[in-house]
A and B are shown apart, each in its own frame.
Chain A
Amino acid sequence: MPLLEATGIEKRFGGVVALHAAGFACAAGEIHALLGENGAGKSTMVKVLCGVHQPDAGVVALRDRAVAFRHPSEAAAVGIVPVFQELSLIPDLSVAQNLLIGVEPRTRLGLVDGRRMVRQAETLLADLGFGGIDPRAVVRDLPLAERQIVEIAKAVGREPNVLILDEATSALTQRQVGQVFSVVRRLRDEGVAIVFISHRMEEVRALCDKATVFRDGTDVGTVEVRAASNAEIVQMMIGRALREVYPPRPPLPQPPEPLLEVRELSLGGSLRGISLTLHAGEILGLSGLEGQGQGDLLLSLFGVYTGVAGQVRLRGERISLGSPRAAMAAGLALVPEDRKTQGLILPLPVGENITLATLDKVSHQGIVSSAAEARATGVMRDQLAIRTAGMEVPVRFLSGGNQQKVAIAKWLLTRAKVYLLYDPTRGIDVGAKQEIYALMRSLAEQGCGVLFFSTDLTEIVGLCDRALVMYEGGIARELTGASLTEANLVQAAVGVADSVPDPVLTVPVA
C-alpha cells in the first residue's frame, strides 16, 4: 500500500498545461525519484503534493485517504515536508532560530528559551552528521552548501512522514551529499516515504529504489532503478518525435574563421574555466539542464558581472568585459533570459523599445529624429514581421512571440557581430519560433556568430551547427555532426558519460 499516491493530476497555468493525467505512488520506506527534462512537470507535481499549488483535478492520497491542501502549512501538518532548491531560511536569524522556527522551546514564563533552543539545534545537527555547523551562526554568514544543509535539517527536524527533496543536493559537495544520503537512508529505514528530484543521474542511481519518468506533464512510466539502464531512462525522458522544422544548415565557410574566442572564463562558483570558440557563420548551441551556468556565461560575456576572470577576443582583438555598453560597442548583442523584465521595457511603445540601444543612430545632436526612427523601426517591422497595430502601442500588448521579435530587433539595429541568445523561443508560439529560427540562420549566413542557449533539446539538435553541454559551471561535452543527438545531450546534461544509441532521431531534419 503506497503511503503517498497522486492520480490523474491536472494543473494548468493560464492556457498552459503543466500537468495532465499525471501521477505516481511512493510507499513507506521507499526512495522514489522523479525524472524528466526541464519543464516535464516534476516540480509542479511536487508543489501540488506539498500544497504550494492546488490541482485542477485529480487526487492526492495519504495512506489511502484523499487530502486537499490549501496551503503548505496544511501539508506540513500531516507530515509532508518539502526541501526546495530556493532556500526558505530567514537569512538574519541564527541557525537554531531557523531550525526551530514555529516550534521554539519555551521557558515557564512563555518566553523563548534561547539556551535550550541552541542545545536542541546542536543535537539535531549532530544527529545528522553535521555537528560542524554552529547553531548560533547567522544563516546569512554561512556558505550556500551549509545553508542547504540547515534547510534539510529543518525538514528532518519536523519528523516528516513524506520528505520531498527537490534539487536539494545541487549546492552540496560530494562529501556533504554522502552525509545527506546516509540521513535519507536512515529515514527510509524508519519508514519515511522520500521523493527525490535531482539532475544528477548518479545520485538517483546511488540512492533511489524506484523512478517515475515525466514527459510533457505526464508520467510515462515507473521503473526499478536497479533494473533499468541509463539508455532506457534517457529514452523515456525524450521519447517524442521532432515537431519543429528547422532551416537547412549550409556548410561553414572554410577555413572556419574564429569570431569569438573565450579562454578560461571563470566567475566565482558559477563558471569554471570556460573556453570556447564561436566561428563566423556558426550557430553554436549551449545545452544542459537549466542553471548549470549557461545564463551566467552569456551575462559574463556581455559585461554584466564584475569579477569575471579570463580572456575574450573578438576577431582576434581582446575585448573588455566591463559593461554592457562596452560589449555593445565591441559588437556583441544579448537577448536575455526574461524578456519581460530584462529584454523589454513593457510599458513603453514598440518603437521606443526597438531603438533603445541605437538612439545615437536615429538622433542628431541629442534630438531624436522622428523620420530616422520611423525608417529604422519600419525596416525591423518588415524584416521580422512584427505584428503590431503601430509603433506607438506599448510593447506589453504584443504576444510573446512578437515581444521577442522586438527584443531581437533592438539588437539587429546595432549590427552586432555576435548574438548571445538565452532561450529566445521560450513560451512563444510555433509560428514565431520558426521565424526566429530562420532569422538566426540568416544572421549566421551573413557571417555573424550566434551563441544560443536553449532548454529545448530539439532546437539544439535541429538548429545548431555544434553544441556545448554545460554541467555545473563547466563545459561537459562538445557535440557535433552525427553525435549531436538528443540522447547524447541528455546524457551529458545529467552527467552520464557512456554513449547510448539514439533510436529516436530517425526523422530527417528538413
Chain B
Amino acid sequence: MSEARRRGGEEARGEDDARLDEVARVSVSSLPDSSTPRLLASVRSRRASLIPYGLIGLLLVAAAVRAPDFVSPESLRQQLVLASYLAILAGGQTVVILTGGIDLSIAWNLNLAAILLTQFGAGGLGGWSLAVALAGATVVGLVNGVGVAYLRIPSLVMTLGMNAVLAGFTLVYTNGSPQGNAPAFARELAVGRVLGVVPWSLLFWLVFGAGLVFLLRRTVYGRRLYAVGNNPAASYLSGVPVRRVLVGAYALCGLTAGLGAVLLTGYSAQSYLGMGDPFVLQAIAAVVIGGTSILGGSGGYGGTVAGAIIVVLLQNVLQIVGVRPAGQQILYGLIILLMLFVYGRGARVRE
C-alpha cells in the first residue's frame, strides 16, 4: 500500500484532492447558512439525536393507544423523575464511554455510597453523610481510572474486578443488613417538589445536565476527552495528558454513581444490598441508545438524556402493553443490540 501511496500520479493526486475539497464544500454548503459555525454544530448533533427522540414519541404513542392514562401530566412527570435518576447515573458513564472505556463498577459503588449515606445520616449528620458518600464514590472512580490509565488494565476487567471487591467489602461492612434511613435532604431531593409542582430531582437534573454539557463542549477538559476518545495516539503526540484525562473520566463516573445513590436512597427511603445491580445495564443502555459510540469519541450527554427517558418508558410501556417480565428482558436486550447495529451501520457508511 505504501508503494501506492508514494507512487507517481501527481496529477491523479491533484484530482483526488480537488474532489475531496469539493466534497467538503458541498457537504457544508447544502446546510443552511454554513457561515455560522454554532448553527452547523447544532445541526450536526441534532441529526445524530433524532433517532432516540423519535423512539420516545413512538413509545408514548404506543402507550397512549393501550392506556390513555399513561400520558397524563402526572404520569409523565413520574416517568421523568425516574428518568432523572437514571440519567444522572448515566452522566458519568457517558463520559467514560466517550473515552472508549466502560464502567461496570457503578452497581456496587452506588450501593456502598447509599449505605454510607444512610449510616452516617442516621446519626443526624446529614451534611457529613453526603460528603462521605460522594467522596467515597469518587475515590472508587479514581482508583478505576488509575488502573485503566496507568496500569493499563482494560476498563472492562478493572471495573468488573472493582465491582466484585466493593460487593464483598459492602457485605462485610454491613454484616449483611444495612442500617439507617435516608437523610431528609435525600428524600426531599428525590421525591420532593418545589411549590408542590416541579420535582426537585428534575431541577437538579437540569442543572447537572447543563453543567455536564458545558464541561463536554466548552472546556479544555471536554476537548481533550473527545480527542482521547477518538484517537489516543494522536492526542498523546499532540501533548494531551491522556492518562489524566482518563482518570478524570472515571472519577467523574464515580461521582455520578454517588449522586445516583443519593437519589435512589431518597426514593426508597433506605439502602439495601443489591440496589445498584439493575442500573449498570440500564445506564449503559441509556448512553448507547442515546447515540454515544461504544467505541468512544462521538456522542454526548444530550443523547443520554433521551436514552434514559427511553429506557424508563420502555420498561413501563412494555408492562402496560402486557409483556411479561421475561419478555421485557428479551425485548430490552434486543433493542440495545438493534441500536448498536443501527449506529454501527451509520459509522460504516460514513467511512
Contact = CB atoms under 8 A, between A and B. Distances in A.
Given A366-B221, A389-B34, A427-B5, 4 more contacts: A345-B227, A345-B230, A367-B220, A400-B13
B349 interface: no
B237 to A, nearest CB: 6
A470 interface: no
B32 to A, nearest CB: 13
A16 B8 contact: yes
Interface string B238-255: 111100000000000000
Given A39-B6, A410-B238, A360 B220 contact: yes
Interface in B93-149: none
Interface residues on A, range: 35 or more
B65 interface: no
Interface in B42-100: 44
A368 B7 contact: no
A159 interface: no
B176 interface: no
24 contacts: A11-B4, A16-B5, A17-B8, A17-B12, A39-B6, A40-B3, A302-B237, A342-B233, A348-B226, A352-B223, A352-B226, A359-B224, A367-B220, A368-B223, A389-B28, A389-B34, A390-B35, A390-B37, A393-B28, A398-B20, A398-B21, A399-B18, A410-B238, A426-B5
A143 B201 CA distance: 62
Contacts of B240: 356-357
Interface string A310-353: 00000000000000110010000010100001111111100110
Contacts of A38: 2, 6
User: Which A-B residue pairs are the 9 nearest by beta carbons?
Assistant: A39-B6, A13-B4, A399-B17, A15-B12, A397-B24, A389-B28, A429-B14, A399-B20, A328-B239
Contacts of B237: 302, 304, 324, 334, 336, 342-343
B24 A398 contact: yes
B165 interface: no
B40 interface: yes
Contacts of A418: none
A363 interface: yes
A16 B4 contact: yes
B298 interface: yes
Interface string B171-206: 000000000000000000000000000000000000
A224 B328 CA distance: 77
B226 A18 contact: no
A287 interface: no
Nearest to B21: A399
User: Which DSSP category, helix, strand, loop or mixed, fits chain B's interface?
Assistant: helix
B37 A14 contact: no
A391 B28 CA distance: 11
A358 B264 CA distance: 42
A18 B13 contact: no
B59 to A, nearest CB: 30
B242 to A, nearest CB: 10
Contact of B234 (A44, A345, A401): A345
B7 A216 contact: yes
Interface string B211-243: 000000011110110110011011111111100
Interface string A402-440: 100000001000000000000000111111100000000
A356 B227 contact: yes
Given A366-B220, A368-B220, A392-B37, A13 B8 contact: no
B235 A14 contact: no
A334 B241 CA distance: 16
Contacts of A397: 20, 23-24, 27
B330 interface: no
Contacts of B235: 345, 356
Given A399-B20, A429-B17, A368 B5 contact: no
B230 A348 contact: yes
A256 B1 CA distance: 41
Contacts of A428: 13, 17
A281 interface: no
Interface string A446-465: 00000000010000000000
Residue from A18, A366, A388 whose CB has the most chain B CB atoms within 10 Å: A18
B238 to A, nearest CB: 5
